Chain A
Amino acid sequence: MKEELEELNNDFPAARFNRRSLIAAATATAALALFRPGNAQVNTNLLITDPTKIQGPLPGKLGSRSRYENPEKKTSDTSSRTPLQDLYGMITPSDLHFERHHGGVPDIDPENYELLIHGMVEKPMVFTLKDLKRFPSVSRIAFIECSGNFRTGKETMTAQEICGLTSQSEWTGVMLSTIFREVGIKPGATWFLAEGSDAAVMTRSIPVRKGLEDGMIAYGQNGEALRPQQGYPARLFLPGWEGNTNVKWIRRIELSDQPFMTREETSKYTEQIKDGKVRQFSFDMDARSIITSPSYPGSVEKGWLEISGLAWSGRGKIERVEVSTDAGKSWHSASLQQPVLDKAHVRFRYLYKWNGDETEIMSRAVDTTGYTQPTLKQLIDARGKDMGGYHLNPVTAWVLKKDGRVLFKPENWRG
């Protein structure tokens, strides 16, 4: 019944025929064409796959992936990770954007959505989603990375498992500076609390300086409304800052003259450094890169191969990416796919002729502040053996085995 209605609504002449009989006829023709005298065998594979012999499906309301492509996020109880090894370019498809939330994904009716801004402001105000969309809008391509984005431990780990808690979208919304201007921030207001409307009622304290610099209330992601998993209908977006500060499903902003010391900035998202000290308010994501191809579980063949991966920095643009194909003895500049954007994933590529001997390949990012992505050893030297698990961005090496297997080179520092 539904099919018939669709056909009636379609102007394409072929649709006026019964679609099923058309397909059946085409299939029969294809089958006949494949019979050859003296050969009783039918190439059944070709029968099914020769697309020139069968009318394809008609235009649809929503696109879909090829049934041969099945990229998936890798889930745990607390997060799901982007399959970096399956992606090209620099944009993460919205349904593959990583997830990390502390109370599940809330279901929020956009008609009932409101953002309250109060505290040290001239005018405490409430904005509906419609209000937010009436303000001048801005779009920006940038990454969001969870600061707990490093796993290691075994050779059979994918890029997704090692650091799949980073994703990139084009975000659209209203600049926080526009909203702050509307409510009027009182002198002395230096921090604001961002609060989500999930079951965790997630809260983070953010310096007003960052909000004014490039903070955004985002409602768009890659050309459409935010996905629920990324904060529908509106989230805080702070380019380059640790994922957790980009509070999703944002319902309240309170201006203050001090940080609020919420659980997410005291007992979590803080990291132990040397002398038993604990580093707090570690907002910026340091520069990082990872080769996503070749990588486990892929394999390589002798001869030319394109080494490709992602590099990014929360402090600015990527200045260059260097690739080593001899376990870090020598480094060569990779080419960067334009445009290289501020606080954004950039795709890097390097051509390499592999001679078949076992070797290690790795990349390191250098950003516009002059920071060079460190090794794990450099991080341990700087922060001590008891360093915490946040903000770890070490150079990641893949081992090319003689038989063509590509394995992760795990480096452990915890006994």
Chain B
Amino acid sequence: MRVNTDLKKIASLLIFLLISVLISSCSTSPDQGEEQGGGNLPESFAFGRIATKQEIDSIDIDIMPDGHGLPPGSGGVATGDSLFALKCVSCHSGSGPYAKLIGAFGDTVKAKTIGNYWPYATTVFDYIRRTMPFNAPGSLTDDEVYSLTAYLLFKNRIIDSITVLNSSNLATIEMPAKKLFVNDDRKGGKEVR
């Protein structure tokens, strides 16, 4: 009884394999990563669902270089200074593992700092809000992020000590290192770039 069932299974498997081989040998096999689905792509698969505005807004946190995405709120240097001492200095002090945030453009600081390397002020806000502080990522309020951004830009001699940052002035700050950036010009071929 047991043996018969097994034999039937094997026989049907063999027939299946034979058919599979015949089918696959009739069609050309596409190169890896190319056209799939045998060219029968429908207009729409109707998988997934339409996203609501609310769910987009809940995770659409990026800030663009033109300031798009900056939230309401504001913050200044003094508040940023105390916040930095409270929440950032353990990593970003002289002896911390990630000390290299401060060094004005043109200074002799070798490290790549916000002042001498970062091309957009909006990136400072985006990154702090996105993932800082290390031990509690994403826990800062928007006002706190504005304050820390102001403090760091002040320490890098990009804004003065009385500037209060908000959604309308942050993106207008011209970062000194922006002019250094060029697009990748490597393109393969004989020349080493």
Using a CB–CB distance below 8 Å, which chain A residues touch chain B? 77, 102-103, 116-118, 123-128, 131, 134-142, 175, 178, 181-182, 193, 195, 199-201, 203, 214, 216, 239, 251-252, 254, 256, 258, 260-263, 266-267, 270, 273, 276-284, 286, 315-316, 341-342, 367, 369-372, 374, 378-379, 381-383, 391
**Shortest Cβ gap from B55 to chain A (Å):** 7
| Contact of B94 with A by CB under 8 A | no
In the complex, what distance in Å separates the CA atom of A141 from the CA atom of B32?
8
Q: Is the CB of B51 within 8 A of A182?
A: no
A203 to B192, Cβ gap below 8 A?
no
Task: Kindly provide the distance from the CB of A373 to the nearest chain B CB, expressed in whole angstroms.
Answer: 9
Q: A77-B97, A391-B186 are in contact. List 8 more A-B contacts (CB 8 A).
A: A103-B137, A135-B45, A138-B32, A139-B32, A175-B33, A260-B65, A261-B123, A341-B32
B86 surroundings in chain A (CB, below 8 A): none
Chain B residues proximal to chain A, CB less than 8 Å: 31-34, 36-37, 41, 44-45, 47-51, 55-56, 59-62, 64-66, 97, 112, 114, 117-120, 122-123, 126-127, 130-131, 137-138, 177, 180-193
Check A279–B131 contact: CB distance below 8 A. Answer: no
Determine if B48 and A125 form an interchain contact, defined as CB atoms under 8 angstroms apart.
yes
* Contact between chains at A379 and B137 (CB < 8 Å): no
Contacting pair B186 A284 (CB below 8 A): yes
Given known contacts A116-B56, A126-B55, A201-B138, A277 and B182 CB-to-CB distance under 8 angstroms = yes
Of the candidates A126, A131, A199, A266, the one having the most CB atoms from chain B within 10 angstroms of its own CB is A266
Q: How far is the CA of A214 from the CA of B32 in the complex (A)?
A: 10
How distant is the Cα of A370 from the Cα of B31 in the complex, in angstroms?
Answer: 22
A342–B61 CB distance below 8 A: no
Q: Which one of B36, B60, B130, B183 contacts A280 once the chains associate, using CB atoms below 8 Å? A: B183
Whether B131 and A125, one on each chain, are in contact in the complex, defined by CB atoms closer than 8 angstroms, is no
Q: B33 and A315: CB pair below 8 A?
A: no
Question: Beyond A280-B182, A315-B188, is A134–B47 a contact (Cβ under 8 Å)?
Answer: yes
> Is B183 a contact partner of A125 (Cβ separation < 8 A)?
no
With contacts A124-B50, A124-B51, A267-B118 known, is A136 near B36, CB below 8 A?
yes
CB–CB A203/B130 < 8 A: yes
Known contacts: A118-B51, A214-B33. The answer to whether A279 contacts B59 by CB under 8 A is no
Q: Is the interface of A mostly helix, strand, loop or mixed?
A: mixed
Bound complex: CA of A302 vs CA of B61, how far in Å?
A: 62
Nearest CB of B to A283, in Å: 7
Q: Is the CB of A370 within 8 A of B186?
A: no
Q: Which residues of A contact B55 (CB under 8 A)?
A: 116, 126
* Contacts known (A135-B47, A261-B122); A371 close to B188, Cβ less than 8 A: yes
Pick the contact of B184: A258, A282, A342, A370 (CB < 8 A).
Answer: A282
A282 engages B62 (CB within 8 Å): no
> How far is it, in angstroms, between the C-alpha of A119 and the C-alpha of B109 when the chains are bound?
40
Are the CB atoms of B62 and A262 closer together than 8 Å?
A: yes
Q: Are A118 and B126 in contact (CB under 8 A)?
A: no
Q: Would B33 and A138 count as touching, CB distance under 8 A?
A: yes
| Contact A369 B188, beta carbon cutoff 8 Å | yes
Residues from chain A with a CB closer than 8 A to the CB of B182 are: 273, 277-280
CB pair A126 B51 closer than 8 Å: yes
How far does the Cβ of A394 sit from chain B's closest Cβ, in whole Å? Answer: 10
Q: Are B64 and A118 in contact (CB under 8 A)?
A: no
Jot down 24 A-B pairs with beta carbons below 8 A, ordered by A. A116-B55, A125-B49, A125-B50, A126-B50, A134-B47, A135-B45, A135-B47, A136-B36, A141-B32, A175-B36, A181-B41, A182-B45, A182-B47, A182-B48, A200-B130, A201-B131, A203-B62, A261-B64, A266-B123, A267-B114, A277-B181, A278-B177, A341-B32, A391-B186
Nearest to B112 among chain A residues (CB) is: A267
Q: Given A200-B130, A267-B112, A277-B180, check contact A131 B186 (CB 8 Å).
A: no
